[in-house]
Amino acid sequence: EAAVTQSPRSKVAVTGGKVTLSCHQTNNHDYMYWYRQDTGHGLRLIHYSYVADSTEKGDIPDGYKASRPSQENFSLILELASLSQTAVYFCASSERTGSSYEQYFGPGTRLTVL
């Protein structure tokens, strides 16, 4: 079964501080994604990547940067954290080809910005 892990699992940050959320997958998947989940909004795509050393913007990229240094690792960086970025963040991965394009999700990181 696909294994996607995230660290930290929870974080409290101060406004204006830098936050880095990390994601690691062990399934050789090409695609990786970062979503945020807010009550009443479902999941919204922030950034995604289909190959190492390349990232693409999703629907809500403002205020976030992403980094994919290897196929297994995908980070989300908040250079200047703001109150509005308090949310639960999910990482996911999926295969490039196949009959099903299901995404495998990590356990989530609960970020609180004070």
Partner 1 sequence: GEQVEQLPSSLIVQEGASVLINCSYTDSASVYFPWYKQEPGKRLQFIIDIRSNMERKQNQRLTLLFDKKTKHLSLHITATQPGDSAIYFCSASNRNSGTYQRFGTGTKLQVVP
Nearer to partner 1, 72 or 95 (CB): 95
User: By the 8 A CB rule, do 32 and 49 touch?
Assistant: yes
Cα dihedral sign for 70, 71, 73, 76?
positive
The 3-state secondary structure of 98-110 reads: CCCCCCEECCCEE
The yes or no reply on residue 27 touching partner 1 (CB under 8 A) is no
Among 42, 62, 83, 84, binds partner 1 (CB under 8 A): 42
Query: Which of 94, 109, 111, 113 forms a contact with partner 1 (CB under 8 A)?
Result: 94
At 70, which amino acid appears?
Answer: S
108 lines the binding site for partner 1 (CB under 8 A): yes
Residue choice 11, 13, 17, 43 for contact with partner 1 (CB under 8 A): 43
Distances (CA, A) of 8 to 21, 32, 35, 50: 7, 18, 15, 23
Provide, rounded to whole angstroms, the least separation between the CB of residue 75 and partner 1. 19
Q: Is 40 in the site for partner 1 (CB under 8 A)?
A: yes
Q: What are the residues facing 37 on neighbouring strands?
A: 43, 88
Residues in contact with partner 1 by CB under 8 A are: 4, 31, 35, 40-45, 48, 50, 58-59, 90, 92, 94, 96-97, 100-108
